[in-house]
Structure 1
Amino acid sequence: MKKKADSQNLNEKEENKLLNHVKLSINEKFQNWVLFKNGTYIIFENADIIPDLESEAIKLMKEFGPVYTGTHAADFDVTDLKKTEGWIVSGHGYGMYTYVSPDEIKCDITDILEIGLYGRYKRDLDGRNPVIIHINRKAE
């Protein structure tokens, strides 16, 4: 049986691993972004006029995160990453992306549809239960 501390350390390691992949997936010119528990993140281009990134990120995640079949929320695009392994899945929310690791895909052959559907699933989880694990704000 795992101890609570062991489980917490594992979660911290997984979150740090996710954070490192996301940092490498974001263009360096974007300094203001918020990362959610399941790998969805939102980039803020106009963060200097947003006093509370956390509240704004939660609001946007609740609005654009949940997936509803047959709507724009179900649309996605998949981008291969160059600086780290994995993919970014984008959807209908501007500046909202979801990181998908190769470890999460069970297929030996890269299947863009499977990657996109899995990324959309993760975004839906973040949209229905938004838990922020990191806020990156440009130092002023």
Structure 2
Amino acid sequence: MKQKVEHQKTNRISQAELLHHVRLSINPKFQDWVLFKNGTYIIFEHVDEVSNLESKALKLIKEFGPVYTERSQDFDVTDLKNTEGWIVSGHGYGMYTYVSPQEIRSKKPDTTTIGLYGREKRDLDGRNPVIIHINRQNF
């Protein structure tokens, strides 16, 4: 059974805000990544092995995005240094979900609250993937 997050979102952030925060959360050495509507993004380290980022990202989000009960609490939460918010990671190498403080009702949320909310966002992206940005290194 999927556990519900006690502190549900209060405000969604705009796509422009989401893109801004995600850009700041990614190490600049990684230039190839794909961002989904609910804040999940996939970083591609070995871009020479990927000719079509969009199709590869869709394949990965469908495989590793949806949250299943046995893996529902398989996550890590990282505080961001270059922007506000957190990154939630879990199974699926290079896949992360951005969580904004605006999306969490609690003023001082704990890592479980942040992590479970991030997993809910990732689940939404995994079950209904909508790409809102593809960042590709210029060759």
What TM-score, normalized by structure 1, do the two folds share? 0.88
Residue 19 of structure 2 corresponds to 19
CA RMSD of aligned residues (A): 1.4
Q: Greater CA radius of gyration, 1 or 2?
A: 1
Stretches of structure 1 that go unaligned for 5 or more consecutive residues are 1-10
Q: Indicate the structure whose relative CO is greater, using CA pairs within 8 Å and at least 6 residues apart.
A: 2
Moved over 2 A (4+): none
Aligned to 2:97: 98
Residue by residue over 1:19-45, the C-alpha shift from the partner in whole angstroms, topping out at 9 and shown as x without a partner, is: 000000000110000000000000000
Instruction: Report SS of the residue matched to 2:70.
Output: coil
Q: Among the aligned pairs, what percent are the same residue?
A: 71
Query: Hey, what does 2:36 align to over in structure 1?
Result: 36
Structure 1 residue 109: deviation in Å? 1.7
Tell me the matched-pair count. Answer: 128
User: Which is richer in helix?
Assistant: 1
1-structure distance, mates of 2:115, 2:59: 23
CA–CA distance in structure 2, aligned partners of residues 107 and 121 of structure 1: 17
Which residue matches 1:54? 54
TM-score with structure 2 length normalisation?
Answer: 0.89
Partner of 2:125: 126
Shift of 1:74: 4.0
Paired position in structure 1 for 2:136: 137
CA distance in 2, matches of 1:24, 1:137: 16
Within the alignment, does 1:87 sit opposite 2:86 as a pair?
Answer: yes
**Amino acid across the alignment from 2:42:** I
Contact 1:67 1:74 in 2 (8 A): no
CA separation of 1:113 and 1:74: change in aligned 2, threshold 3 A: closer
